[in-house]
Amino acid sequence: MSSKEEIEENSISEGLLLRRNGSNGGGSSGSLRWVDGSEVNDNQEEVYDKNEEIIRKSNYGSVRRRLKKPRRVDSLDVESMQIKGVNGGSQHKKDVPLLATLSLAFQTLGVVYGDMGTSPLYVFSDVFSKVHITSEVDVLGALSIVLYTIALIPLMKYVFIVLKANDNGEGGTFALYSLICRYANVNLLPNRTPADECISSFKLRLPTPELERAVYIKEILERKSLLKTILLLLVLMGTSMIIGDGILTPAISVMSAVSGLEGRIPGFNTDALVIISIIILGALFSIQRFGSSKVGFTFAPALALWFFCLGSIGIYNLLKFDVTVVRAVNPVYIYLFFKKNSTNGWSALGGCVLCITGAEAMFADLGHFSVKSIQIAFTSVVFPCLLLAYLGQAAFLMKYPQSAGRIFYDSVPNTLFWPVFVIATIAAIIASQAMISASFSCVKQAMALGCFPRVKVIHTSKEHMGQIYIPVINWFLMIMCMLVVAAFRSTTSIANAYGIAEVGVMMVTTTLVTIVMVLIWQTNLILALCFPLVFGTMELVYMSAVLSKILEGGWLPLVFASLFLCVMYIWNYGSVLKYQSEVKQKISLDFMDELGCTLGTVRVPGIGLLYNELVQGIPSIFTQFLLDLPAIHSVIVFVCIKHIPVPVVPQEERFLFRRLCPKDYHMFRCVARYGYKDVRKEDHHLFEQFLVDSLEKFLRNEALDLALETNKQSQPQFDNNVVSPRDNSDELKVPLMRDQRSEIGTSISEPSIIAASGDEDPSLEYELSALREASESGFTYLLGHGDVRAKKNSWFIKKLTINYFYAFLRRNCRGGNATMRVPHMNIMQVGMTYMV
């Protein structure tokens, strides 16, 4: 690959970074500063127009920019317009009016419950393919298992318990992992700093006083690296199985809906079923790039009509054929079912578990809605309609047991067949859409937390930042779905594979929620253990049943899950080793002192933005720039894009600054912090202008802090907030002043500040003039292309993993997050090999 091609491949967003920041910051030497983004107006167009005018007035002095209009490249995360509400704090909805909650509950029908709502299409047909109906015990036993499964797992477990274990309104396995990472430092990437704990969304509200047991468990988790690895693998396994669901759900849902044409249209055989299913799947995945799921109301009416059909047809069959099937609420029929059918009954249990497919979506899609809306929708609509649907099908089977293979469509009255068929097909497509979107969300969260290779992510909605589209994942899912349909050719065969992924995700969620109960909620130990004892036991029983189908197709989700698990773990493993190598090789301050303020080279006017992953210190890649470049910029800013295990970092808490060396070096550290749901979209001209403004305010507040330090005896109220400017520790500390306007303005009057600061510091004026001169000369983005290799004395497995698998992923993923919409002509890149 040529140098130009390599630059183009790597020219995507590393965060570009400081999102429209017109902030107040401050700090003394060796300390940190908040850069307050609260000056940004919610009217983004007004802000953009204002700052673009400022930029047009600025003289950058760059010959390269004058000669040619810069070429822009796609961003890593965002290719849509500005998304509302991403500049502020948490997306978690609080104090939502009742009407708004009911509106959200209606929307959940179209996004959350599509998968579970279409399960009546294939549950009983799969169950009775293993157990032939010879008596009423078969029907009543299977019905009883289905009823209690729906009542215990989706209703009791998810609606009333798991939904409460949300991370500031976000759900899913990675949300649980981030929650645990905030309480206990179990993240394998060692880049956590004390300043992160001051983010408002980072803090945990513990419902009970801290217990000795919770502290003891926390210390064990933090001390044992093996436990950290096991926890990470558990989370990655759950995420891999959700992606596996994204492959199997469209296949089984679409085929089940289209299978209604068999027996209704002469000559419609299995080949026709497969071909039509593949065509529908191709159309389904082709429209993903248009963002067909961006508004819940688009799908909610169709799913509401579908649930109405399920309930109505269930009541009709129940009253017409056999109302006595309500006897199935007696759990004795479960015992009689297994007593009569023995091993076949155990195999049929794998079909019963299909009635709760999509239950994990209630938790995974929580970020788009609220806990109350999901609870209301399930308890008032989904739960009763599903119960009526299964009761009606059981009543029909009591009279027509030979219809078990096509139970859903045979139980529909003839006059309603075609309308119900159309609605069922639409519902199946919507159900598929929900799991595809869930797969996109899981990949984005994994990528943000350093557990998935960087891929192109497109936001498809201006209203909701959670609505995303990932092209490479979309086409991979489409190809896999088509292959599954072509290979298995029947819903029964796909159902054998479907249950393993679903139950696996539930077991992972049960384990993580139990940890949350013990560590964070500090629930009574007996009650906390009851949760895995009850629900974990049920899921283990179901897992034992579905694992018996490995040879019948159950191997498929295990292969998919293993593939994604290996990709995610190898990427995380290589990234952690690379970060640890950078930490060990970072440049010492003694070496910088020896170089002097000229850095052993010529300092030319300009600002160099060097992107790296270190949150502290000077990266070793900087020496490569000093060696390879004939001169270095007069101002150097080391920019670190850091992902915090929180959903959203409020704009006013996003950025930290510090000075790295003495003043005459003009070197600074900037840490831009993002949550795993944050959206990044900044024009590089705006970023550059805001960076200069932020640095100017940083320098002014630094001078102010020095003045306050000298007058601290006369201003004792600042004693707890000021960090000594002579503190040369490289540790990132809590910012001195989180909001200059609010804290300083309320604690000391403006005349007092002026009196404390005295006359304008000549050194400050000199540094400000040097910064302005550098900004007029233009910005250059300094990128390091790191090649990671295993040491020669490493184990063979490590060499194979790092030198081949991890290297392959790095070569074929999108480049670093640094250059969103940055002109290629403003980039300088050097290579460096890290031996790990």
pLDDT for position 458: 78
Please report the DSSP string for 260-314 in residue order: GGBTTBTT--HHHHHHHHHHHHHHHHHGGGGTTTS-GGGTHHHHHHHHHHHHHHH
Tokens encoding 60: 């950058």
Residue ranges, the chain, pLDDT below 50:
1-93, 207, 292-293, 295, 713, 717-758, 817-819
Other beta carbons less than 10 A from residue 343's beta carbon? 10
pLDDT for position 326: 93
**Which residues make Cβ contacts (< 8 Å) with residue 154, sequence separation at least 6?**
116, 356, 359, 362, 378, 383
Alpha carbons 392 and 412: distance in angstroms, whole number: 10
pLDDT for position 648: 76
Sign of the dihedral through C-alpha 475, 351, 144, 318: positive
Question: What's the DSSP call for residue 587?
Answer: B
Cα-only R_g, the chain: 30
pLDDT for position 305: 92
Separation of CA 769 from chain center: 43
pLDDT for position 190: 61
**pLDDT tens by residue, 617-657:** 888 888 888 888 888 888 888 888 887 777 777 776 777 78
What is the three-class DSSP state of 828?
strand
Alpha carbons 299 and 305: distance in angstroms, whole number: 10
Alpha carbons 512 and 206: distance in angstroms, whole number: 17
Alpha carbons 552 and 126: distance in angstroms, whole number: 13
* Residue 781 main-chain phi, psi, to 5 deg: -100, 115
Query: What does the buried/exposed string (b/e) look like for 72-81 if buried means 16 or more CB atoms within 10 Å of the residue's CB?
Result: ebebbbbebe
Q: Give rounded-to-5 percent helix, strand, coil for the chain.
A: 60, 10, 30
Distances (CA, A) of 488 to 255, 481, 485: 11, 11, 6
pLDDT for position 146: 94
Please give the angle made by the CA atoms of 255, 256 and 257, to the nearest 5 degrees: 90
Residue 726: closest CA among 701, 711, 706: 706
Query: What does the buried/exposed string (b/e) look like for 791-807 if buried means 16 or more CB atoms within 10 Å of the residue's CB?
Result: eeebeeeeeebbeebbb
Alpha carbons 272 and 260: distance in angstroms, whole number: 12
Q: Facing residues of 33 across strands?
A: 657
Alpha carbons 675 and 200: distance in angstroms, whole number: 12
Quick check: 834 and 787 in contact, CB under 8 A? yes
pLDDT for position 54: 37
pLDDT for position 309: 93
Distances (CA, A) of 329 to 269, 333, 335, 693: 38, 8, 13, 69
Tokens encoding 448: 């943000």
Tokens encoding 505: 């995700």
Sign of the dihedral through C-alpha 27, 32, 38, 39: positive
Quick check: 578 and 834 in contact, CB under 8 A? yes
pLDDT for position 357: 83
pLDDT for position 725: 36
Sign of the dihedral through C-alpha 235, 238, 240, 246: negative
Quick check: 168 and 555 in contact, CB under 8 A? no
Predicted TM-score (pTM) of this structure: 0.72
Quick check: 201 and 674 in contact, CB under 8 A? no
**pLDDT tens by residue, 341-384:** 888 888 888 888 889 888 887 887 777 678 888 899 999 999 99
Alpha carbons 764 and 696: distance in angstroms, whole number: 10
pLDDT for position 298: 64
Quick check: 505 and 241 in contact, CB under 8 A? yes
Question: What's the DSSP call for residue 760?
Answer: P
Place of tokens 């849902």: 253
Alpha carbons 319 and 737: distance in angstroms, whole number: 70
**Which residues make Cβ contacts (< 8 Å) with residue 530, sequence separation at least 6?**
none
pLDDT for position 748: 37
pLDDT for position 504: 87
Tokens encoding 153: 């797992």
Please report the DSSP string for 167-191 in residue order: BTTB-SHHHHHHHHHHHS---SS--
Sign of the dihedral through C-alpha 8, 10, 11, 12: positive
Alpha carbons 42 and 45: distance in angstroms, whole number: 9
pLDDT for position 82: 34
